[in-house]
Amino acid sequence: MAAEALALLAEERVDHRFKGLPPDAMGRTVAELAAERRNLFTDGFATPVLALSAERLEHNLRLMETYAERHGLAFAPHGKTSMAPQLFQRQIEHGAWGITLAVPHQVWVAREFGIQRVFLANELVDAAALRRLAAELASDPAFRFVCYVDSVRGVELMDAALKGAARPVDVVVELAAGEGARTGVRTEAECAAVADAVAAAPTLRLVGVAGYEGEVPQATPERVHAWLRRLVALAVDFDKAGRFADTDEIVVSAGGSAWFDAVADVFGEIPDLSLPVLKLLRSGAYVSHDDGHYRKLTPFNRVPEEGALEPAFRLWAQVVSRPSAEQAFLNAGKRDAAYDLDLPFAQVVRRDGVERAAAGIEVTGLSDQHAWLRTAPEADLEVGDWVGLGLSHPCTSFDKWPLIPVAEADGTVVDYIRTFF
């Protein structure tokens, strides 16, 4: 089913929904366009256009595969970063246990493309979504689904919606990262109360504990390690109390894209429990990485001998106005570029087929369809030049581009990634 669904993506017709593509590509299938191996710079692509580096994407996939293997971790990358089934499939091919998601809609997308293991890193109390989930579980015995619970009330709502379900829904108690953090149970005593509620609900099965260390207040290595040890201790205490009697493995899960080195450290300390432990890492932003937020925070900066992720996105925009020596404007703005954390970074300028560093050029703001540039005296910039921008926060890059060209270093476009947000 997965292969068939992915094949259908390649048969989709290029039309007005997909920006940046060559105007003369309209009406071709995505597969036909990919087979033409057009050049991003010389074969009709229109600015703005977002491109994903073929080489860097493959590098990042391989690096995290080997990292997880080296540290004895199962890996369920957070798919809400890309919502791209082709990338889900490549992550599975590179050893991923399954895919992490955040909301029910994303689960249905993953299921449509044959994903057999889903970790929902969120609470799920919507009755309609739970009924559909129950139907998915009943129709496919191989489908594995796990989600958070963090309140007795939430457990009650789940149980009421799932009455009569053929299979129980697997849940993990979410431990909050601290007071004032996002979701999750604040104290160990409250965690036990939620676990008791799960035990009393025949539609649910407790399989582990989980959380997100990226929400630790005023995060430092010491604080993050301390919280992760609380999470492991909670799993140990639950196991001693016999709370995992109905499962065949214990799930202990954490891991965003900023502190997965700490997760590897602490999960490596998990003692032998009564059942095998699935040490599940969920980092997702690695697949494209970025030139801002995660590049500054990546654990590989702290442990360089592990390797280094490479930013794989570049947004190409064109200078459309040069009103003064100190100012210029590009034809890409908030509709095109991630801007929720850091502004884009001017990296290179292309003119007449020649690419050079974007010296003296700074992005100072974004309007809906314009990037504001401040230009220093050394900036050599003219109307018509293409400017390559590095982006921060891949989560809000993928969601703006429903079809993304995958380009090799020389500009040859070898594939197109379809996203579903």
**Which of 51, 68, 90 has the alpha carbon at shortest distance from 317?**
51
Paired residues of 415 in beta bridges:
406
Distance CA 419, CA 221 (A): 34
What stretches of 135-276 adopt beta strand conformation (E)?
Answer: 144-149, 169-174, 204-210, 250-254
Q: Does 348 lie in the same domain as 278?
A: no
Quickly tell me which residue has 């995505």 as its tokens.
30
**Together in a domain, 139 and 265:** yes
**Of the candidates 78, 110, 71, 93, the residue with the CA atom closest to the CA atom of residue 264:** 71
CB atoms inside a 10 Å sphere around CB 394: 27
C-beta separation of 4 from 25 below 8 A = no
Is 100 a member of any domain?
Answer: no
Q: List 355's β-bridge partners, or say none.
A: 350
For residue 139, what is the domain's CATH number?
A: 3.20.20.10
Same domain, 48 and 161: no
Residues 117, 120, 124, 127, CA torsion sign: negative
| Contact between residue 376 and residue 360 where contact means Cβ atoms under 8 Å apart | yes
Beta carbons within 8 Å of 287's beta carbon, 6+ residues apart? 57, 60, 61, 77, 81, 82, 87, 91, 312, 394
The alpha-helical segments, DSSP class H, found in 26-103 are 30-35, 54-70, 85-93
- How far is 40 from 28, CA to CA, in rounded Å? 17
Q: Are residues 213 and 348 in the same domain?
A: no
DSSP code at position 256: -
Q: How many CB atoms lie within 10 A of CB 229?
A: 14
In this structure, the answer to whether residues 123 and 268 fall within a common structural domain is yes
**Residue 130 sits in which domain range?**
116-283
Same domain, 135 and 253: yes
Domains held by the chain: number? 2
355 is written with which tokens?
């690419």
- Classify residue 60: in a domain, yes or no: no
pLDDT tens track of the chain, all 421 residues? 688 999 999 999 999 999 999 999 999 999 999 999 999 999 999 999 999 999 999 999 999 999 999 999 999 999 989 999 999 999 999 999 999 999 999 999 999 999 999 999 999 999 999 999 999 999 999 999 999 999 999 999 999 999 999 999 999 999 999 999 999 999 999 999 999 999 999 999 999 999 999 999 999 999 999 999 999 999 999 999 999 999 999 999 999 899 999 999 999 999 999 999 999 999 999 999 998 888 877 899 899 999 999 999 999 999 999 999 999 999 999 999 988 889 999 999 999 999 999 999 999 999 999 999 999 999 999 999 999 999 998 888 899 999 999 999 999 999 999 999 8
| Whether 271 and 391 share a structural domain | no
Within-domain flag for 225: yes
- Which residue, chain included where needed, has tokens 């590989």? 300
